Structure 1
């Protein structure tokens, strides 16, 4: 039976490192005193050093927040329509950067048969799928699939779709893109839990090429694990003032409690020690800690995930692909790996793979 392989992965982020400016801006939405002090402490403990955004902060002499798009103005945060206008302006630019870094040859471009795009932070039509076809000069007969609004685990579902395409059409070449502008959906609020969730998120894009040639990371199998009675812990709703996220502080606790009982299912019966490469979506430091404890992983097992979290933050569906890019760069032939990403449900989408 044909096995699909992730041949290579390219990643891109916008030029603006906004982690510190966003932390300072978010502080201004909270009342001074205990709440603001707690927020500062939690921000310091996030294990995030850098997050990148299309939003370009402008230096002000009075140290108040201002961005070049004048998107986030105190007391007048943008409507959903305005946010979607900005997505349509900046998403194709970020997509182009990732595609250029993927560096497809002319022969590879001619060989692309399918394009799959995931995004939960914006949409327009004709959309990113058409932008990709135009940017690369692909055949107009390329088959296009958009996977929308699935959240952080959408990349695993895109890989699953590519896997089935290559198995059914061994000559197929699938281009997968995961693009998110998470900082487009900052909300004006005094809810500290909501502000802390915003300070995890960043913008990013990953593009990868998948085919049957035995090179790169071979995709072995998939398993979705739904955590019972957790459907209200992660939600993503379209409202008049943008996309409204709820990310409960209970998520790490529930992952730690419920994932422990299904660890052998996740590894398909293999011993944890047999899995050399872990690519867990860094939904936050506490999420990674929860997975490490629930699965009883070695101390350095999540080094790739923790590195991506520190360097880029949480870029929703693109993030696990950033982790897999680091894994691919260091993997040795024959090593077994497990990818895992969490999202609404709460569901863990998992994928076993091995290095060719």
Structure 2
């Protein structure tokens, strides 16, 4: 019989600067066509996002990063090198805040798994974070990079494999994303709607064989055919340009309605908890509709979306954090990302 592995604790952290409404104003002004401005305003109002947080601080005059004296001053999009310098400083700091919020001794930690897709630095963020946390040099590290929104699944799944191979292992999993470092000078509706979703955040979890928290069982993964261009990040001279096609919710709904992805989720049992990556309101609506979920089934995901927007890999951890202290008999965690791919696992309370 395989060794049970548990998420013992989860903690989260976001920066203190809310940039959502400033971005909506900035993006609306970039659309030349009055009909597109109206459509953007309507879509922004329907996005069900109340706040998105950024590591970029307010300006000296209290303005946002898109203000005339902000990081994204009009006509002066910063180069990728400047954005990565901020990532190297701020990603470890935000990740450390999430780890400290776990409020546990890190002495027993044997492995560190870090997931992030919004920056690159060497030595890696895993090494930087390990040093900041005072972890021993012997701590084994794994960096999960550039997998996008389902990277939390990959990180938690890897931690599960580690504990199953070494029952004494205690794995610290961290996800950290600074999506707001990648604003692009778009003047078209689709990329502006894509950027409307994203914010910064970090989460941390402890996984071990100790029977407390949520047990992870039955990981699964599936790539959707002919969908590679639907979600894409292109690294350019002014950051990472996100391409998020408007076709994504429809493709997800189709995949969940029938076929191999649905087969992974539907096994005759009735889940009592759904931890679905809050990629956007339309994605959550597509999942709920395709699986015919009860109205309240995705309340935790919608609450995370409202409070933080889409924080890429960190988002699913925020949703799971809301489920740690209540009984779960049959839970399903599910996330979507570049590929287009779906990844997840089943879980239940210890």
Q: TM-score, normalised by structure 2?
A: 0.95
Aligned residue for 1:328, secondary structure, equals coil
- From 328, 331, 335, give the equivalent of 2:329: 335
Query: Which residue is equivalent to 2:264?
Result: 266
Query: Which residue is equivalent to 1:307?
Result: 303
**Once the 2 structures are TM-superposed, how far is the Cα of residue 72 of structure 1 from its aligned partner?**
0.4
Distance 1:32 1:191, change over 3 A: closer
Aligned residue for 1:307, secondary structure, equals helix
- Greater displacement, 167-176 / 28-37: 28-37
How is 1:339-350 mapped onto 2 (pairs within 5 angstroms)? 339-350=333-344
Return 5+ residue gaps in structure 1 as ranges: none
Distance 1:298 1:74, change over 3 A: same
Q: TM-score, normalised by structure 1?
A: 0.94
Structure 2 residue 11 is matched with structure 1 residue 10: yes
Q: Deviations over 1:300-354 (max 9, x none)?
A: 111110110011100000000000000113x21x511000000011101011011
CA RMSD of aligned residues (A): 1.8
- Greater displacement, 320-329 / 91-100: 91-100
In the alignment, the residues of structure 1 paired with residue 289 and residue 344 of structure 2 have an alpha-carbon distance, to the nearest angstrom, of 17
Distance 1:63 1:124, change over 3 A: closer
Count the aligned residue pairs.
348
Aligned residue for 2:101, secondary structure, equals helix
Query: Which residue is equivalent to 1:56?
Result: 57
Query: Which residue is equivalent to 1:111?
Result: 108
Query: Which residue is equivalent to 1:124?
Result: 121
In the alignment, the residues of structure 1 paired with residue 43 and residue 265 of structure 2 have an alpha-carbon distance, to the nearest angstrom, of 33
**Once the 2 structures are TM-superposed, how far is the Cα of residue 267 of structure 1 from its aligned partner?**
2.8
Q: Deviations over 1:193-251 (max 9, x none)?
A: 10011010000000000000111000111111222221111111211111111000000
- Greater displacement, 119-128 / 5-14: 119-128
How is 1:38-187 mapped onto 2 (pairs within 5 angstroms)? 38-58=39-59, 65-66=66-67, 70-105=70-105, 109-187=106-184
Return 5+ residue gaps in structure 2 as ranges: none
2:58/2:65 contact within 8 Å kept: no
In the alignment, the residues of structure 1 paired with residue 229 and residue 223 of structure 2 have an alpha-carbon distance, to the nearest angstrom, of 13
In the alignment, the residues of structure 1 paired with residue 125 and residue 62 of structure 2 have an alpha-carbon distance, to the nearest angstrom, of 38
In the alignment, the residues of structure 1 paired with residue 349 and residue 58 of structure 2 have an alpha-carbon distance, to the nearest angstrom, of 41
Distance 1:164 1:84, change over 3 A: same
- Greater displacement, 334-343 / 148-157: 334-343
- From 301, 305, 324, give the equivalent of 2:320: 324
How is 1:227-242 mapped onto 2 (pairs within 5 angstroms)? 227-242=224-239
Distance 1:240 1:295, change over 3 A: same
**Once the 2 structures are TM-superposed, how far is the Cα of residue 28 of structure 1 from its aligned partner?**
2.2
